[in-house]
Amino acid sequence: MNHSRATLGGGCFWCLEAIFSELKGVLRVTPGYCGGHVQNPTYQQVCNSDTGHAEEVQIEFDSESLSYKELLEVFFSTHDPTTLNRQGADVGSQYRSVIFYHDQEQKKTAELVMENVAGLWKNDIVTELVPLDVFYPAEQYHKNYYNLNPNQGYCQMVIAPKIVKFRDKFKDKLRMS
């Protein structure tokens, strides 16, 4: 097993965590914050949009069974990378589309994937591609949020439909397939 990490932001980290947790080869998904200027930010601080942080997930995966490229293909298929600082009704810089690369190889792969998926969208991709500095894990109550709160309104209205679409498109890459 070859442990690797990816750090991605594409809107609410609850959505991303729920999706990436279902992929074969994913070992752990941790929601958190990245890309800002405040050390150890809280959810409330990040929600105020003045820390500079984005809601992120840090994905630990076995790169022998799931490539970084495949992770990015899922990433670009499960959020809208053409909307600046928003995903649906979630608005603010904390919901921006961003890839925090861990090394130059990840950067090159991300550039290639972004180039390949650009034609799938009517508008230009606005996903930021920046080096990872510090990842701050989110508070405990954000971890496994969707699975622990399936009847919560946001989970039913926003996350559940994304998961259905994801499962249909990537059924061959799911843990349960």
Task: Domain ranges for the chain, please list them.
Answer: 3-173
Residue 89 has pLDDT above 90, yes or no: no
The continuous run of DSSP H or E covering 70 comes out as helix 68-77
Active site residues: 12
Q: How does pLDDT run across 93-148, given as a tens digit for each residue?
A: 999 999 999 999 999 999 999 999 998 889 999 999 999 999 999 999 999 999 99
Lowest mean pLDDT segment, chosen from 8-12, 35-39, 87-91, 94-98? 87-91
The continuous run of DSSP H or E covering 137 comes out as strand 135-137
Residue 74 has pLDDT above 90, yes or no: yes
Mean pLDDT of the chain: 95
Nearest to 10 by CA among 156, 153, 106, 128: 128
| pLDDT given at position 175 | 87
pLDDT band at 177 (very low <50, low <70, confident <90, very high): low
CATH number belonging to domain 3-173: 3.30.1060.10
Percent of all residues in the chain with a pLDDT value above 70, rounded to a whole number: 99
CA distances from 137 to 42, 58, 59, 88, 118 (A): 10, 9, 12, 24, 30
